[in-house]
């Protein structure tokens, strides 16, 4: 039903022009027909993911639905520093957060405040599953405190940022204004920096792949730039491999360099 709903949204043209523009930027070598096929598949993927998070799943059902690869990267992390998860709007990213929390991770997410009814429901659902939400403005001290309590801090790294809050890195050969926050938090606390991607398997379950930890031999702003580029390159690699998993309806390249 979720796939059907996503397919209907594509047919009705819901943000379809935005998705096709992003696909053209990322895959200029593909024909229009192939880009449309990917776009339609991404809408079906998004619809299916939406229905998955609407289902009242029990803990055992979530554990059966989501499996983690490289979980030892978390277990090997130095105690007292926590870990920073760089996440993307890729696959069922919302189910990923719930599965991580239900595996015992103390998870804090920095997110934009959503004022609509669905957004408020989403926030309440996260809280019920043990996830803590922090606003994307003015929560730096709380985020640092969470890491020092050996908790996991998750931030989305694939959203367009305003120039005052982001730095420009390469994404699919074009400059994209990107949050430096994951790199900054990791450098300030010594927390390992990991990129996390849920990948839908042929049987419908999800395999969560962790990449990293990302490190830099540079210092200061150069280290922040380097780490942010490394993370963004990891996102690009995953999107290239599975373009139907990404959230193409977002204006990723909206902010342009002067």
Q: Which residues of the chain have pLDDT under 70?
A: 78-80
Q: What is the pTM of this model?
A: 0.94
pLDDT of residue 38: 98
Tell me if 200 sits within 8 A of 45, measured CB to CB.
yes
Cis peptide before 213 (omega within 30 of 0): yes
- Return the domain boundaries, the chain: 59-241
pLDDT of residue 14: 97
pLDDT of residue 60: 84
Count CB neighbours of 7 within 10 A.
15
The single residue listed with the structure tokens 């870990």 is 83
pLDDT of residue 214: 97
pLDDT of residue 80: 67
Q: Is 71 helix (H, G, I), strand (E, B) or coil?
A: coil
Altogether, the residues listed in the chain come to a count of 258
pLDDT of residue 121: 84
């Amino acid at each position: 039903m979720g796939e059907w709903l996503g397919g209907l949204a594509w047919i009705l043209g819901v943000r379809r022009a935005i998705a096709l523009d992003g696909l053209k930027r990322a895959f200029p070598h593909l024909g229009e027909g192939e880009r449309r096929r990917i776009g339609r598949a991404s809408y079906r993927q998004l619809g299916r993911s939406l229905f998955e998070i609407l289902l009242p799943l029990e803990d055992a059902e979530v554990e059966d639905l989501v499996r983690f690869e490289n979980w030892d990267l978390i277990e090997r992390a130095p105690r007292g520093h926590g870990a920073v998860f760089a996440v993307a709007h890729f696959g069922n990213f919302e189910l990923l957060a719930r599965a991580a929390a239900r595996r015992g991770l103390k998870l804090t997410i920095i997110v934009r405040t959503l004022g609509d009814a669905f957004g408020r429901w989403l926030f309440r659902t996260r809280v019920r599953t043990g996830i803590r939400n922090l606003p994307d403005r003015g929560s730096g001290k709380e985020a640092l405190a969470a890491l020092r309590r050996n908790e996991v801090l998750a931030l989305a790294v694939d959203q367009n940022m305003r120039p005052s809050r982001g730095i420009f890195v390469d994404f699919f050969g074009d400059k994209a204004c990107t949050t430096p926050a994951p790199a900054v938090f990791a450098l300030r606390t010594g927390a390992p920096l990991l990129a996390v991607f849920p990948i839908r398997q042929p049987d419908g379950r999800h395999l969560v792949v962790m990449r990293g930890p990302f490190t830099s031999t540079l210092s200061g702003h150069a280290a922040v730039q380097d780490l942010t580029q490394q993370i963004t390159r990891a996102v690009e690699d995953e999107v290239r491999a599975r373009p139907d998993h990404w959230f193409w309806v977002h204006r990723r390249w909206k902010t342009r360099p002067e």
